[in-house]
Chains A and B, each alone.
Chain A
Amino acid sequence: MENPYMPYPVRIDDIEIATEDRSLKTFKFVFLNQGDEEKFAYHAGQFAELSIPGVGEIPIGIASSPVEKGFVKFTVFRTGVVTSHLHNMKVGDIMGLRGPLGNWYPWDKLENKNVVIIGGGFAFTTLRSSIVYMLDPANRSKFKNIDVVYGARSPGMLLYREELFEWEKRDDINMHITVDGTDDPSWKYHKGFVPQVVEQNAPQADADTYAIICGPPIMIKFTQPSLTKLGYKSHQIIMSLENRMKCGIGMCGRCNIGKELVCKDGPVFTLDEINLTPKEY
């Protein structure tokens, strides 16, 4: 990348409301310039800066999967200035995309392993990318059992609902979908918080099983003991962190946990690695 601050120009190709409270939208971008898509080659677990000129940039996990071609997708929660502006943009608008940034889930290490994916709320984006990647016919045989625990506040707050229910029907992936609570009598999946569902449904750890966690700090904190109970060692627990970022390339200095920079050395760390750093995330 010649100028790492220079975003690729992209056009908003589609906007989908992702949750019932409309606080999350999924944006589908296509690259304006030929060749940029190839330059933007990414792995599941990486993030990018969504860049709106005159407004600002936000680091967001890539929700589309490397096996999906022709576009990239991001699911964005409306919270600050940039995300609010983005939520008001229309299909056809031009903006920038800078990346891919950070490291990714250690796909080489995960080959021939059982993978347990644990996600909560709207941090499911890079996990969706990962699941689509693993389920791709070209890749599925590389992994052994795949388990997914995904929780949200209510059924309407689950991201990628249609895909979730499709995966649920498949027999090469074990889905454990949960919501904190619901009045819906037809709800046929779990009820309860992610840590409990993990404890009751995730497979016992053996040397060949790895867990990937991505979620709000509080969920990560409470899920760790559940995994430890199931026998997961700290090098088998892989987590994706988030911190305030600006440059995304390890230069602006704010996202560090100890000497590691979440934007460049992360966002993916094993619990082993995190245990060596101050818990400043």
Chain B
Amino acid sequence: MDTCIQKIRELAADLLERGEVEKVIGFAQGTIPMATSPISVGTKQGVDNLVFNSTCGLNLANFASRQKGKIAIIAKGCDSRNIVTHIVENQLQRDQVYIIGVPCNGMVDKFKIAALFEDEITGFAEDGGTLTVSSSLQTKTLKKQEYLRENCLLCTHKNPVLYDVLAGELVEEQVLENAFPDVDKIEAMDVDGRWQYFQRLTQNCIRCYACRNACPICYCPTCFVDEAGPQWVGKGQNKTDVDTFHFLRAFHCAGRCTDCGACVEACPMGINVRDFTRKLNKDALELFGWEAGLDISKRPPLDAYSPQDPDDFIK
């Protein structure tokens, strides 16, 4: 068995046995290929359900707050950054959570893989950097690196930034020449081209709010789209309302998004929801030198004022 999974189970069993934590939150193997499911394990026997692989694409920080008692949580780089964000935003106390860090080699893009097959995928296995994927018609051997999610390809924080213990060896972080090629591509379009791009992006949206609900920083008790008095956004499929939802949600993520990709992972319609937040991440980095979720002692840029803040947009 994968040594990382072995280690996770050992650590979880030990924590539960010693009573250090009440629950361990991690991933369980799903019932279908390329699926995993967040799980809360409260007994030593239950730890055998814990797994970690390239399909653990959701962000567990989302499940960390609002739990009773002390919990342990399996955290890859992005999960740990969102735990940091939760601590900075007072959603979680540092001593409420025991972080089992898992250095991460990226999660696979299920849509990219599905697109290779004419029929549905019936089997998925991975061994190091090699994926074996099959459908009833064919079996393919793939290089994992070529089928990573877009955000994983651009990830510079594969290792957890905050942890109590590690369940694997730290991995080498990549240094990118350009961290935002996707944003550049959109920026290169003219104004109507950009508008059309975003119009197409959201045309399949069914407003199930999986993106919002999978997002670890979308924890508002009442989201602006759900508010009834006053009602800010219409609830139907009118395109303006759909776009207003995506656009305003993105704003609420400014300087907070860690580009964990959970929104994209959760979207049943295959919408690259990140296209909205990526621009904000780029601005946060360029204007404020800020990447979210790296340090529990720093306030996010939109939460703090500094005389050095850029102000050339004010005339």
Which A residues contact B (CB, under 8 angstroms)? Answer: 80-81, 84
Residues of A within 8 A of B115 (CB): none
Beta-carbon nearest neighbor of A79 in chain B: B229
- Minimum C-beta distance from B113 to chain A (A): 36
Residues of A within 8 A of B229 (CB): 80-81, 84
Residues of B within 8 A of A81 (CB): 228-231
Could you give 7 example pairs across A and B, Cβ below 8 Å?
A80-B228, A80-B229, A81-B228, A81-B229, A81-B230, A81-B231, A84-B229
Beta-carbon nearest neighbor of B230 in chain A: A81
User: In the complex the two chains form, what is the Cα distance from A178 to B231 in whole Å?
Assistant: 39
- Interface flags for B215-230 (1: CB within 8 Å of A; 0: not) read 0000000000000111
- Minimum C-beta distance from A80 to chain B (A): 6
User: In the complex the two chains form, what is the Cα distance from A84 to B230 in whole Å?
Assistant: 11
Beta-carbon nearest neighbor of B228 in chain A: A81
User: In the complex the two chains form, what is the Cα distance from A84 to B229 in whole Å?
Assistant: 10
Residues of B within 8 A of A84 (CB): 229
**Which residues 134-161 of B sit at the A interface, judged by CB distance below 8 A?**
none
Which B residues contact A (CB, under 8 angstroms)? Answer: 228-231
User: In the complex the two chains form, what is the Cα distance from A81 to B228 in whole Å?
Assistant: 7
Residues of A within 8 A of B228 (CB): 80-81
The A interface is mostly helix, strand or loop, or mixed, namely: helix
- Minimum C-beta distance from B227 to chain A (A): 10
Residues of A within 8 A of B231 (CB): 81
Beta-carbon nearest neighbor of A84 in chain B: B229
Residues of B within 8 A of A80 (CB): 228-229
User: In the complex the two chains form, what is the Cα distance from A84 to B231 in whole Å?
Assistant: 14
- Minimum C-beta distance from A78 to chain B (A): 12
- Minimum C-beta distance from B261 to chain A (A): 33
- Minimum C-beta distance from A219 to chain B (A): 26
User: In the complex the two chains form, what is the Cα distance from A80 to B231 in whole Å?
Assistant: 11
User: In the complex the two chains form, what is the Cα distance from A80 to B230 in whole Å?
Assistant: 10
Residues of A within 8 A of B230 (CB): 81
Q: Which 7 A-B pairs have the closest CB atoms?
A: A81-B229, A81-B228, A80-B229, A80-B228, A81-B231, A84-B229, A81-B230
User: In the complex the two chains form, what is the Cα distance from A192 to B229 in whole Å?
Assistant: 35
User: In the complex the two chains form, what is the Cα distance from A55 to B110 in whole Å?
Assistant: 43
User: In the complex the two chains form, what is the Cα distance from A81 to B230 in whole Å?
Assistant: 8
User: In the complex the two chains form, what is the Cα distance from A80 to B228 in whole Å?
Assistant: 8
- Minimum C-beta distance from B230 to chain A (A): 8
- Minimum C-beta distance from B222 to chain A (A): 14
- Minimum C-beta distance from B45 to chain A (A): 31
User: In the complex the two chains form, what is the Cα distance from A231 to B78 in whole Å?
Assistant: 63
- Minimum C-beta distance from A82 to chain B (A): 10
User: In the complex the two chains form, what is the Cα distance from A192 to B230 in whole Å?
Assistant: 38
- Minimum C-beta distance from B228 to chain A (A): 6
User: In the complex the two chains form, what is the Cα distance from A40 to B230 in whole Å?
Assistant: 33
- Minimum C-beta distance from A222 to chain B (A): 29
Beta-carbon nearest neighbor of B229 in chain A: A81
Beta-carbon nearest neighbor of A81 in chain B: B229
- Minimum C-beta distance from B226 to chain A (A): 13
- Minimum C-beta distance from A182 to chain B (A): 32
Beta-carbon nearest neighbor of B231 in chain A: A81
- Minimum C-beta distance from A5 to chain B (A): 16
- Minimum C-beta distance from A53 to chain B (A): 16
- Minimum C-beta distance from A147 to chain B (A): 40
User: In the complex the two chains form, what is the Cα distance from A81 to B227 in whole Å?
Assistant: 11
User: In the complex the two chains form, what is the Cα distance from A80 to B229 in whole Å?
Assistant: 7
- Minimum C-beta distance from B80 to chain A (A): 39
- Minimum C-beta distance from B238 to chain A (A): 15
- Minimum C-beta distance from A56 to chain B (A): 9
- Minimum C-beta distance from A110 to chain B (A): 38
- Minimum C-beta distance from B234 to chain A (A): 12
- Minimum C-beta distance from A203 to chain B (A): 43
- Minimum C-beta distance from A254 to chain B (A): 14
User: In the complex the two chains form, what is the Cα distance from A84 to B228 in whole Å?
Assistant: 12
